[in-house]
Structure 1
Amino acid sequence: MEGNQYLEMFIDESTEHLQAVNDNLLKLENDPSDTIIVDEIFRSAHTLKGMAATMGFDDLASLTHQMENVLDGIRNDRITAGSDLMDVVFQSVDDLEAMVTDIASGGEGKRDVQEIVARLEAIEKGEQPAAQAEKPHEARSSDAGSAMELDDFELTVLRQSSEQGFRAFAVRVELSKDVILKAARVYMVFEVFEQLGEVIKAEPSVEELEDENFELDFQVILITKESAEDIEGKVNKVSEVHAVEVEAMEAVSSQRPEPADSGTEIPEKEERNSAMPEETSAPPVPDSPAAAEKLPEQKEEKTAPASKTIRVNIDRLDSLMNLFEELVIDRGRLEQISKEMENSELTETVEHMSRISGDLQSIILNMRMVPVEQVFNRFPRMVRGLAKELNKKVNLDIIGAETELDRTVIDEIGDPLVHLLRNSIDHGLEMPEERRAAGKEEKGNITLRAYHSGNHVFIEVSDDGAGINRDKVLKKAISSGVVTEENGASLTDKQVYELLFSSGLSTADEISDISGRGVGLDVVKNKIESLGGNAAVDSTPGQGTRFSIQLPLTLSIISVMLVEVQEEIYAVPLSSIIETAIIKKEDIMAAHNQKVIDFRGSVVPLIDMTDFFDVPRVKEEDEYYSIVIVRKGEKMAALVVNSFIGQQEIVLKSLGDYLQQVFAVSGATILGNGQVALIIDCNALIK
């Protein structure tokens, strides 16, 4: 089958493996002696390399292979996992992520990795005290011909393979003198090897073979159930192969590894691009031309429990959601018809269908929910990099990563959180010497926390830094024209801190490439409010700052209050409503050419929805006004409507490309009677 049939699976699994590598590298940096973590990283890197080689992404496979070599050195105590080395490995992961991203965008995953590969090679060659102090074991051919050195792991693979009926051969292949494209011929030879069994070592290395950094001959150790004659015959069929020498091998060692338990089995290989006939199936060693590498330590195979999860393309979930939204609309229509007809059997059936569709709605919404961990996972690496860049010591605690949000919301919150974290690191936390002088630990703490509360999810970014300087913020706000000096004097501390979300307000003494406290926070607030949420900030001088984001669980189906404006129906999201009320005409006052009312001691502007949306007046004004009090953060407004219809769950539909710029309207919905109702965007309305 063609590789592009598996491209989507490759992208998904590569992303997961890279995230696992990132997470475990951070753990390894904190505890370099933990070999279990190294093994986990090695497994992820090895699997990624095998998949990349199978799919034909050579740059990806090449870099992963070299990173694998360094990890192997760490695992065998030949290399120390210091900070400088980790920087190089992290840079390698960045390059790998960039290549996977390019592949996901339709590219070929090409990238110039020569420099980073050279750095990894230098690390591998420059720190090998263990390898020099202790001579590696050797595996020789039965005729005592030329020797290929093998380590303990490779010898173990040979021994276990022998126990399972496989044989090991040293195969020397010589190409013709007039060969063209040596690397292509090598690839074809390795394809034959893959059909015969498994390659566990190659000399020269696979990278050197792929780069044509060899003369005309190379050697491999092949594990197979085929005979020497079959191997020689099949390799000779590759054009431009001049000669093939095949010798049976047996492993010898000055210090033999202890025999494996009789019950030990070699697990099946994780990534194989095609099924291999049973008689030629081989033990688990790397696949493809990039196959001459070692696998993690083999463990006794256990029967894995049956998987209870499947991968579902998000487009299918979107389609399912769209179909269900249509069902919700029809449900509303049926409910209205049953009320009009007053037929008991119809009413009973519709009520049952409503209960079933309600359960179905919960299931579908839960299917679309994904943990915020998908967003949070990328932050530890970012925090580490920024801390090193700013010469600060930072500890990031993540709490509640399992908290779930609708995928549409998850896709949008990454950038706002990045900005808040960069703010906390750059201007929230002090330099180590400043923290010492203040009696704090050198390492600053940033906490990223997510939790559910009702129909909302809260995400908090807090630090234990110096806090926000009230006087500095207020002075800057007055000089920027955000508030007047008179109004500023009466503001509480929290209200002053909220000024940081004002457009263009910055308290940074110097412009920073990282961030500045206040720079862009208006963008953060606008993004969160566009998702139907809100953002807030609080701070205690000398103790730290906390940014809090409130988000709805989902954006597809929302609860609204249906109101009537003349003969038109509008929907006001319940998340924006404080309360509804009825006021007398004489309660309305005027201030600065604006109608206002006194709402619980606050002056609230009055907006007549008939005039605002230019709805034709067909009803006479009454002595009493029906109003809906809505809010945006600390700001409020009173919307004048003709009557309240009631609360209802509605399906949020986009107005389409032609009506994107309609002011104060976030979308539309279809009611049970087939009528279209516009959904009011209270955030834009108050703004």
Structure 2
Amino acid sequence: MEMNQYLSMFIDESTEHLQSLNENMLQLENSPEDLGIVQIIFRSAHTLKGMSATMGFEDLASLTHQMENVLDLVRNGQLKMNSHIFDTLFKSLDALESMVQDITQGGEGKADVSHIVAQLRAIESGDFEDSAASSNSGNHNASPEGVQLDQYQFSVLDQSIAAGNTVFYIEVTVREDCVLKGARAYMVFDCLERNGEVVKSNPSVQDLEQEKFDRSFSVYFISQVGQEQLQQSISQISEIEQVHIVSVDHETLNHLNRQQEQKAELASAKREAAATSVKASESAPARTAGTAAATRTIRVDIERLDVLMNLFSELLIDRVRLEQLASEIKRTDLTETVEHMTRVSGDLQNIVLKLRMVPVDTVFNRFPRMVRDLAKSLDKKVDLVITGADTELDRTVIEEIGDPLVHLLRNSIDHGVEAISGRLAAGKPETGTIQLRAFHSGNHVFIEIEDDGQGINRDKVLQTALKNGVIGADEAKSMTDEQVYNLLFASGFSTADKVSDISGRGVGLDVVKSKIASLGGNVSVESTPGQGSKFSVQLPLTLSIISAMLVGLGSEKYAIPLSSIVETMVIDHKQIRTVHGNQMIDYRQSIIPVISLAQVFDCPDSAVDSEEESEVIVIRKGDRLAAFMVDEFIGQSEIVIKTMGKYLTNIYGISGATILGDGQVALIIDPNALVK
């Protein structure tokens, strides 16, 4: 069977299942007794295993199969979740993600996962579980029923009894003040092996050597000596508190075997009943919902949406051209037709833009796992609270915003949230909280990352800036808190005391700022010492079609994004004053800089500088205002953003170009680049 045609479907569905596994594992870590979550995780792992096996990705299938075995024990109550099992399952998910990523990049999805599989098998066999159980055992009467034997071990013991050998179940308890428990266990085993053969130990020999037990351990032992001699030999070992020895005969052994078989049958019956009840409760609604979903939603290749957007862009350009021709010809029937076309294409524009809109949840959903791992590596406790995950952004913006947000979150965990001891000393709860919020405001989306940590150390930032030559000593004296905090975005700025794999490598928040600025956005920071910091990222809703103000500079036309414009007005050149070599004007009880776009873009036929009055556009960048002088206002228009091509990159003050209705090309001005 040809599988290449199904590969893209496999990658999409595998990615969804892995994301679901990560999210539900995090929920289960908070509620380890919730078997409903375990059931969901088990089904995702089971589906992923089947898909991988069908596609021929054996390493993926074998690892998910082993995860499935462990989860099966958990959902049937035979295994309790603990930190070791969680860590091993998370390692498994990381390995699965790397293999799927390899397949996405054209690889075969192969990886050496033998060490993870071995850990999962150890959990499944009960080695870790047994050690955990023994750590809570304390003193109790020795009972052979407490140790699970497999059929091979039952057979060995049964044959030994039939051959006339004596079988004992021995439980040894060391003293509470024993320092080297592992050494005492070794001495007991050495004594036993001189007098017979150990068949089964609980915990395992490896756990005993590593002292992974509390005070007691037990063994099934085939003895060549009597019970009294054995008791005396073990009791002579120092720091041994108690030795309980129980003789095991045919009847006891058969009773134990029957008990274990009954337990296995009961567990199997419970498993089948649980599976039946799940199917019964889910089959009808799930089938109905699945049918409805299948008829109402489809997967669409993102390239097709890009083609659709490009075709609509051409249609929009022709529409503007038709509107211009209709206004010149002035025929009623043509005007009415063009107006109808404008309304229809406007609705089509809204639909096309909505098709490209993606919830920020597609970026946010990978952060809880990242925060969990980082907090654990830093020995901190951090809660990530996400709100507004359903806020939508253009797909182009979504693709680019992930890395900057990762950097800001890592910065908050490493620099912002204090260590547990520091938080307790400051009278805070030991668990820090990071708020990740997204919300719409006008034509922008705001994403905020706020922590309740120690805040930004103003003096430390200033000292580092002075040391690195970012600012001068005179400038530092007059800087406001906001200006100091914005120094964090200077190139190569880092306040980390030591280099780590999380931060402090000299690649600071300047990377974040430049990336967000390239998207037409802005980032700012607020901080209160001892209470925390908040980074706010402002992004445009879309990068494809925007509303813009068309302006004229001589014979050239330019477009300024409407989202950046505060006001348009006319000023007398006599109102312009020079302050420290910069041209400034009075604007609503404040003084703002005024910029001649004709000088910036070298437009020789512009009359901006020679006229007595000039049209001015006031624009906003963050909390800063500036005024642009132009020759004329042409009007507002919907424009399609086109890139300048690979030969015209990094042009100062220009973010792209657009084709106007008359076929002319207008450059799109980037206000963020012009306002410093």
TM-score computed with the length of structure 2 as normaliser:
0.75
Structure 2: distance between partners of 1:546 and 1:483: 24
Letter in 1 for 2:348: L
1:616 counterpart residue number: 604
- Given the alignment of the two structures, is residue 28 of structure 1 paired with residue 12 of structure 2, yes or no? no
1:389 counterpart residue number: 377
Letter in 2 for 1:22: N
Structure 1: distance between partners of 2:268 and 2:6: 39
- Given the alignment of the two structures, is residue 469 of structure 1 paired with residue 457 of structure 2, yes or no? yes
- Given the alignment of the two structures, is residue 629 of structure 1 paired with residue 618 of structure 2, yes or no? yes
Deviation at 1:304, TM superposition (A): 2.1
User: What does residue range 664-683 of structure 1 map to in structure 2 within 5 Å?
Assistant: 664-683=653-672
Which whole-Å deviations, capped at 9, do the CAs of 1:336-366 have from their partners, x for residues lacking one?
1111111122111111111111111111111
Structure 1: distance between partners of 2:315 and 2:88: 54
Q: Does the 8 Å CA contact 1:536/1:549 hold for their aligned counterparts? A: yes
Deviation at 1:10, TM superposition (A): 0.4
Letter in 2 for 1:301: S
User: What does residue range 307-346 of structure 1 map to in structure 2 within 5 Å?
Assistant: 307=293, 308-346=296-334
2:17 counterpart residue number: 17
Q: 1:136 to 1:301 in 2, by over 3 A?
A: farther
Structure 2: distance between partners of 1:481 and 1:598: 34
Q: 1:333 to 1:601 in 2, by over 3 A?
A: same
Q: Does the 8 Å CA contact 1:63/1:117 hold for their aligned counterparts? A: yes
Q: What SS does the aligned partner of 1:108 have?
A: coil
Which whole-Å deviations, capped at 9, do the CAs of 1:592-621 have from their partners, x for residues lacking one?
554444445655444322232222326582
Structure 1: distance between partners of 2:490 and 2:618: 23
Structure 2: distance between partners of 1:516 and 1:335: 56
Letter in 1 for 2:288: A
* Greater Rg over alpha carbons, structure: 2
Structure 1: distance between partners of 2:574 and 2:625: 20
Q: 1:258 to 1:475 in 2, by over 3 A?
A: closer
Q: 1:638 to 1:300 in 2, by over 3 A?
A: closer
Letter in 2 for 1:629: V
Structure 2: distance between partners of 1:504 and 1:127: 47
Q: 1:673 to 1:637 in 2, by over 3 A?
A: same
Q: Does the 8 Å CA contact 1:451/1:457 hold for their aligned counterparts? A: yes
Deviation at 1:519, TM superposition (A): 5.2
Structure 1: distance between partners of 2:480 and 2:525: 13
Q: 1:385 to 1:431 in 2, by over 3 A?
A: same
Deviation at 1:510, TM superposition (A): 2.9
1:437 counterpart residue number: 425
Q: 1:76 to 1:127 in 2, by over 3 A?
A: farther
Q: Does the 8 Å CA contact 2:553/2:606 hold for their aligned counterparts? A: no
Q: Does the 8 Å CA contact 1:39/1:296 hold for their aligned counterparts? A: no
2:87 counterpart residue number: 87
Deviation at 1:121, TM superposition (A): 1.2
Unmatched runs of 5 consecutive residues or more in structure 1: 138-252, 268-294
Structure 2: distance between partners of 1:420 and 1:494: 18
Structure 1: distance between partners of 2:301 and 2:621: 36
1:649 counterpart residue number: 638
Q: Does the 8 Å CA contact 2:383/2:433 hold for their aligned counterparts? A: yes
Q: 1:404 to 1:312 in 2, by over 3 A?
A: same
Deviation at 1:466, TM superposition (A): 1.1
Structure 1: distance between partners of 2:108 and 2:18: 18
Letter in 2 for 1:653: K
Deviation at 1:533, TM superposition (A): 1.3
Deviation at 1:382, TM superposition (A): 0.6
Deviation at 1:467, TM superposition (A): 1.2
Structure 1: distance between partners of 2:505 and 2:57: 42
2:249 counterpart residue number: none
TM-score computed with the length of structure 1 as normaliser:
0.74
Q: Does the 8 Å CA contact 1:426/1:516 hold for their aligned counterparts? A: no
Q: What SS does the aligned partner of 1:657 have?
A: coil
Q: What SS does the aligned partner of 1:658 have?
A: coil
Q: Residue 444 of structure 2 is aligned with which of 434, 456, 459?
A: 456
Deviation at 1:266, TM superposition (A): 9.1
Q: Does the 8 Å CA contact 1:468/1:544 hold for their aligned counterparts? A: yes
Q: Indicate the structure with greater helix content.
A: 2
Deviation at 1:136, TM superposition (A): 10
Which whole-Å deviations, capped at 9, do the CAs of 1:319-341 have from their partners, x for residues lacking one?
11111111111111111111111
1:54 counterpart residue number: 54
User: What does residue range 212-251 of structure 1 map to in structure 2 within 5 Å?
Assistant: none
Letter in 1 for 2:377: E
Structure 1: distance between partners of 2:297 and 2:279: 28
Structure 1: distance between partners of 2:670 and 2:95: 42
Q: Does the 8 Å CA contact 1:423/1:517 hold for their aligned counterparts? A: no
Q: 1:338 to 1:54 in 2, by over 3 A?
A: same
Deviation at 1:625, TM superposition (A): 2.1
Q: Does the 8 Å CA contact 1:432/1:442 hold for their aligned counterparts? A: yes
1:240 counterpart residue number: none
Deviation at 1:67, TM superposition (A): 1.2
- Given the alignment of the two structures, is residue 97 of structure 1 paired with residue 81 of structure 2, yes or no? no
Q: 1:533 to 1:445 in 2, by over 3 A?
A: same
2:674 counterpart residue number: 685
Deviation at 1:588, TM superposition (A): 2.9
Which whole-Å deviations, capped at 9, do the CAs of 1:614-638 have from their partners, x for residues lacking one?
2232658211122223343344443
Q: 1:497 to 1:610 in 2, by over 3 A?
A: same
Letter in 2 for 1:521: L
- Given the alignment of the two structures, is residue 533 of structure 1 paired with residue 521 of structure 2, yes or no? yes
Which whole-Å deviations, capped at 9, do the CAs of 1:210-229 have from their partners, x for residues lacking one?
xxxxxxxxxxxxxxxxxxxx
Unmatched runs of 5 consecutive residues or more in structure 2: 134-144, 152-260
Q: Residue 301 of structure 1 is aligned with which of 258, 283, 287?
A: 283
Structure 2: distance between partners of 1:618 and 1:448: 47
User: What does residue range 595-606 of structure 1 map to in structure 2 within 5 Å?
Assistant: 595-600=583-588, 604-606=592-594
Deviation at 1:6, TM superposition (A): 0.6
1:284 counterpart residue number: none
